[in-house]
Amino acid sequence: MRQSEHFPDSVTVIEVGPRDGFQNVKGEIPTEEKVKIINLLATSGLKRIEATSFTHPKWIPQLKDAAEVIRCINRGSDVVFSALIPNEKGLDRAIENGVEEVVFVVSASDALNRENFNQSTAESLAELAAISPKAKRNGVRLRGAIAASFGCPLEGSVAVERVIDVAKAFQKAEVCEVSLADTTGMAHPLQVRDLLCRLFAEFSDLPLALHFHDTRRIGLVNVYSAWQIGARIFESSIAGLGGCPYAPGAPGNVATESLVYMFHRIGVETGVDLESLMECSRITKEVVGGIDPDRCHG
Ligand SMILES: [Zn+2]
């Protein structure tokens, strides 16, 4: 039961709606609306927010305003704003724009890595060898994320050993934390328990975060399962924004407000003010719902 020695019991919530959520919204969300929502999230007590992604606009047109978003959000607070990067080019843009933390994603499934990043998992990991020292030289904190940790829509089940191999590469690259992503919402609670037992035993010094999608409406059950095993860092999305390109119309990430509500009800602190969060959720639904009504499930 590692990563659970806090007293009183508490968890860290990482808000990923402005990245994972927005990127799945059809129709352009105006930059100023994104900035407004991110600033509101930052006032609700969330201390970590994934604000955008430095991915080529050709792949994710919705986030083509990444630099502008980073420039316009209120960064004077004690909130860490991160940006996702798919490759070294993304890191260069993040550095240029003064991002303090980047999240480098590698898929445990080769097929999904090729589909999303146009190169094999091994090639992405080779790129990590260049990304890590460059991030360090520029004072940028590097996190790792492992896509398809709980299964792949193209390959089916993904062997635990492949998740461990990618995590080992991240550890060698001295990332501060690794996020295990259930990219398309294939995880179930017993699988979560088994995978985490293996990973906690293998990586006792590496903080592990969990990123669940609610594609099949059991995202929160998976969160609870992970928490019981000792996980204390969770990623979620305001209003349950997000989606799954392999399951059109499916719900997105676990909703931040549901996750915070559950933890508060079982006596676990999040540091987040639920009332402010509900207001953020309402405003997010209003903004996004006007553009893409299918994308609000929170
Ligand atoms: Zn995701």
Domain total for the chain? 1
Tell me, yes or no, whether 143 lies in a domain. Answer: yes
Maximum distance among all Cα pairs of the chain, rounded to whole angstroms: 46
255 and 289 in contact (C-beta within 8 Å)?
no
Ligand 1 center to 210 CA (angstroms): 10
C-alpha 164 – ligand 1 centre gap (Å): 19
Q: What is the dihedral of CA 122, 252, 223, 51, to 10 degrees?
A: 70
Residue 260 CA to ligand 1 center (angstroms) comes to 18
3-state secondary structure of 49: strand
Q: Is residue 220 part of a domain?
A: yes
Q: What is the pLDDT of residue 6?
A: 47
State the Cα–Cα distance between residues 110 and 5, nearest whole angstrom: 36
Give the separation between CA 66 and CA 62, rounded to whole angstroms: 9
Helix (H, G, I), strand (E, B) or coil at 13: strand
Name the packing angle between helices 31-42 and 274-291 (round to 10°): 170
Give residue 245's pLDDT. Answer: 74
| Percent of the chain as helix, strand, coil, to the nearest 5 | 45, 15, 35
Gap from CA of 181 to ligand 1 centroid (Å):
6
How many whole angstroms from 185 Cα to the centroid of ligand 1? 9
What pLDDT is stored for residue 77 in this prediction? Answer: 78
Q: Which residues pair with 269 in a beta bridge?
A: 10
- Please report, in angstroms and rounded to a whole number, the separation of the first and last CA atoms in the chain: 30
Alpha carbon 39 to its chain centroid, in Å, reads 18
Ligand 1 centroid from CA 52, angstroms: 13
Rounded-to-integer distance, Cα 40 and Cα 277, Å: 8
Does a structural domain hold residue 219? yes
Residue 273 lies in a domain: yes
What is the amino acid identity at position 51?
A
Residue 4 falls inside a structural domain? no
Residue 6 inside a domain? The answer is no
The set of catalytic residues is: 244
List residues bridging with 13 in a β-sheet: 234
Instruction: Kindly report the CATH number assigned to the domain that includes residue 55.
Output: 3.20.20.70
* pLDDT tens for the chain, residues 1 to 298: 555 554 569 999 999 999 999 999 989 999 999 999 999 999 999 999 999 999 999 999 999 999 999 999 999 879 999 999 999 999 999 999 999 999 999 999 999 999 999 999 999 999 999 999 999 999 999 999 999 999 999 999 999 999 999 999 999 999 999 999 999 999 999 999 999 999 999 999 999 999 999 999 999 999 999 999 999 999 999 999 988 777 777 889 999 999 999 999 999 999 999 999 999 999 999 999 888 766 665 4
Domain hosting 144: range is: 12-295
Does 2 map to a domain?
A: no
Which letter does DSSP use for residue 149 in this model? T
The pLDDT of residue 5: 53
Q: Are 80 and 61 in contact (CB under 8 A)?
A: no
Position 286 in a domain:
yes
The C-alpha atoms of residue 116 and residue 174 are separated, in whole angstroms, by 24
CB burial of residue 159 (10 Å; 0-12, 13-18, 19+): exposed
pTM: 0.95
